[in-house]
A and B are shown apart, each in its own frame.
Chain A
Amino acid sequence: MSLLLATLVAWLFTMGTYLLLQRTLTRIVLGLGLLSHGAVLLLQTVGGRAGDPAIVDSDGGVDGIAAPLPQALALTAIVISFGATSFLLAMAYRSWLGTSDDQVQDDLEDRRIAAEVADLEGHYDRDRVDEFDPEVPT
């Protein structure tokens, strides 16, 4: 069971990382969601064998119980990642309202300096720097 959970954690991290590297904001949000699920599941997995309860027996025995601390940690982490994801979604919506586009925008100042460097190296002529379009990937 632990092996299955460990594989699942690895799978969630892989998918999350892949989605995070996309240029579309909704995919980035989904990717971060998957990553935090992976981390929470990891916390659960380190807590002990799957299926064991995190409470002491009625006669006070402590054999065969899961560690309760990771469950408390996981609960805290879930609340935090819920808040962060909602904020991120609100930002993605704002970004969509501003640009009617779901893509991550380039940093204009950074692009301008890159264009100046290219200009110094003779790849651009001066006029093109002014009409440099940040929307087109270079």
Chain B
Amino acid sequence: MSLVVLPIIIPILGAGATLVVSRSVRLQRSVGFLVLLATLGASIALLVEVEANGIATIDLGGWPAPIGITLVADLAATMFLVISMAVILLVHVYSIGQRCDLDGPAIFHPVYLVLAAGVGMSFLTGDFFNLFVAFEVMLLASYVLITLGAGRERVRAGMTYVVINLLASTMLLAAVGLVYGATGTVNMADLVTKFEALPESSRIGFGVLLLAVFAIKSAIFPFFFWLPDSYPTAPISVTAVFAGLLTKVGIYTMIRTTTILDLDEVQPLLLAAAGVTMVIGVIGAVAQADIKRILSFHIISQVGYMLMGLAIYTVAGLAGAVLYVVHQIPVKTALFLVGGLVEETTGTAALHRLGGLIRRAPVIAALFAIPALGVAGLPPFSGFLAKLSVVQAGLAAEEYAVVAASLFASLLTLFSMSKIWVGVFWGEPDEPTPVLADPDGGTLRPPRLMVWATVGMCALTLIVPVFGMQVYDLSERAAVQLLDRAGYAEAVLP
């Protein structure tokens, strides 16, 4: 059997298995963990194979490429797949430590595994309709997770999330229908040649329609408003995995659409959107006074950098975008996990009720520092290399305005990270929570499993700086492969 199907089929079967054992939470936890471990292993094996032998494909059901459903694994897709599955695995451990599977009926583990399958399928799909199905699998799972327990506040915030995503999915379906009407195919590799036969205006029209849909999913200006409203209310491990993955899946599909349709005409539009997204997101973050909300606005700001790499649309730019996604998935998740540790030990995430945690919980402070410096882009942490490669690509392409915007946004990122640091770890709280008000309280100890999962996630963020050259080389090869549209079509079609 081809390796390409494994990252999708293992978690789907695992979801069924966890439903079967739903009477015992303990059994569900171990099955879920083993399934995700196997998925990560299969993804790594796939990356090794794709790295050595080039693009891997499989025609499901034996139907040849443009007719049947094709799964395609190229370098960019498998790199994102491996880092995503690693993050999903670590957050699973964290969620066990947080006991959020004890909340309500025993559906957390099955739904979480379906989410993993949806993410894997979105990365590996080779046609636009199957991409719609993959999004639906991923999103239906996320609807359940974001409203887990169905309290009043979660239903309120979840409503915005569900409605906006259903609208985007319907638009995607309509766009796929129009593309089929114009070309007679939904297969991405087939579309490479079919689109060349179309007039330029309709190619750009379809491209912009698809990009708008994916911009809603990746929270790009002006479609970002739903994200900071809905993410902060979910259980923290759910927010963490959403923050790390869902918007990046959106960015991946934007990269894929742009390269398949060769949309270099919309580059100025994407550049402007990237610049505004970075600045608006970070300004939104500066205005907030709650850890989860600050971090939610940072998701938006950071997505801008990936879009900037894509909008520059050179090998260096795309390599920067790929590297940025690989750096950002674990860093963003790690920040939310640390936010969850703070909330778990003190009972709040509001800055004015927190303070002095560097004395009460030095471990949390150390764990916050690594991803915070990483997201701000200080050398030698992971954001530095990613930001440097995007900015250098921008300078080489002489796009000075967006480079200036990105540097300005970096500065404000550092500022808002120090706002969290000062508010949570230094000083005294204005209105302390009961735990912090106790004058002779000792060191605060969050659940051990949560701490270890966070340590693992922080270690994962250090992969980019430690293996900097190798990761950048791989990203560059992925970018060359993305831009080689003829090679992609040749690998997929018989």
Contacts and interface: CB of A to CB of B under 8 A. Distances in A.
Interface of A: 13, 20, 25, 28, 32, 35-36, 38-40, 42-43, 45-46, 67, 69-70, 73, 76-77, 80-81, 83-84, 87-88, 91-92, 94-95, 98-99, 104-105, 107, 109-110, 113
5 contacts: A32-B163, A39-B170, A43-B176, A73-B177, A81-B170
Q: Is chain A's binding surface mostly helix, strand, loop or mixed?
A: helix
Interface in B112-150: 129, 132-133, 136, 140, 143-144, 147, 150
A117 B143 CA distance: 32
Contact of A38 (B150, B174, B180, B293): B174
Nearest to A38: B174
Contacts of B171: 39
Interface of B: 67, 129, 132-133, 136, 140, 143-144, 147, 150-152, 155-160, 162-163, 166-167, 169-171, 173-174, 176-178, 180-181, 184, 186, 229, 232, 287-290, 293
Contacts of A105: 156, 159
B147 A91 contact: yes
A87 B152 CA distance: 16
Nearest to B229: A107
A69 B180 contact: yes
Contacts of B169: 80, 84
A87 B165 CA distance: 13
Contacts of A35: 167, 170
Contact of A32 (B150, B170, B232): B170
B129 A87 contact: no
A25 B136 CA distance: 21
Contacts of B147: 91, 94
Contacts of B144: 87
A35 B164 CA distance: 13
A32 B171 CA distance: 11
B156 to A, nearest CB: 4
A91 B158 contact: yes
Contacts of B293: 109
Contacts of A46: 177-178, 180-181
A69 to B, nearest CB: 7
A36 B170 contact: yes
Given A38-B174, A94-B150, A32 B158 contact: no
B167 A39 contact: no
A35 B172 CA distance: 12
Contact of A95 (B132, B159, B177): B159
A36 B170 CA distance: 6
A107 B157 contact: yes
A13 B180 CA distance: 19
Contact of B173 (A32, A45, A77): A77
Contacts of B170: 32, 35-36, 38-39, 81
A25 B143 CA distance: 16
A77 B290 CA distance: 39
B351 to A, nearest CB: 12
B229 A110 contact: yes
Given A20-B167, A39-B177, A43-B177, A84 B229 contact: no
Contact of B163 (A45, A88, A107): A88
A113 B288 contact: yes
A8 to B, nearest CB: 14
Contacts of A81: 170
